[in-house]
Structure 1
Amino acid sequence: MTSTNFGQRFTAAAAKIPSAFGKNSTPGTTVYGRITKIGEQPKLKYGGAPGEVDTDDHGNVIQQLFITIETPNGPRNLYPTSRMEQAIGQAMNASGATSFDVGSTLSVTYTGPDPDNDKARLYTAVYTSAVGANGGGR
């Protein structure tokens, strides 16, 4: 019989930073704050078992970008989709920023479903470079 340390699983789940947007987020939901971390992590398999990671056709783990933002309600993770990345890119262009940096401020608003694809979401964003951020100049 194999022994499983469920305590580790529960404490790891409790320590996980919550996602900024969930499946029940309503249009108009905004997440804003200072960017504290940018990185990649294994993408979890949609509809898979808890902790099961997604792999490509060759068995390689698919990596997923995440952005941790310190919000008034604590840290939240953004997992940018292509439409969210587009909104962030437009916000960076509007601010004159040339790089995406920790310490900068980011606001992302879920504006509603994409009328051309009911499974996709549309976003708007505002990006403000950190003072003295490398490449974040105006």
Structure 2
Amino acid sequence: METKVIYNADLHFEHNLWRSELSFWEDELKSFDNRLNELVIRWTDKSVLAQLEHYQNAFIRHREVIDTLQHDINVHETDMSAHNKKSEDVLTTALVKNHIEFRNRIETQRHIYADLKKEFFRFLSQYM
């Protein structure tokens, strides 16, 4: 079995990509909130308002997930930094395993967020 060396810089690069993606989602959610505010003014129908509340709650929940992911990236970066200070550029198996699990979490969240956006855009096309 071949052993592959994984360096801090490789994981740091991926962390930076994830941070950018999470920041983009935060900006998108702000614009989605603006759309919700426009619709709240336009509609008085209780079923539409209930759907607006559903999306508002979904956006709040997604922001919480973004905050958690950002925190977890920072924790991993701190751990990697500690290795770097000791001049250990190669990571332990446990750190790499955690990184792979985190990558799976990000991928899952991408799918959840994409589905939420599709659903919200269908809703907007119906009520805007």
Q: Same fold (TM over 0.5)?
A: no
Higher RCO, Cα 8 Å, sep 6+: 2
> TM range, normalised to the smaller chain?
under 0.3
Bigger strand share: 1
TM-score scaled by structure 2? 0.22
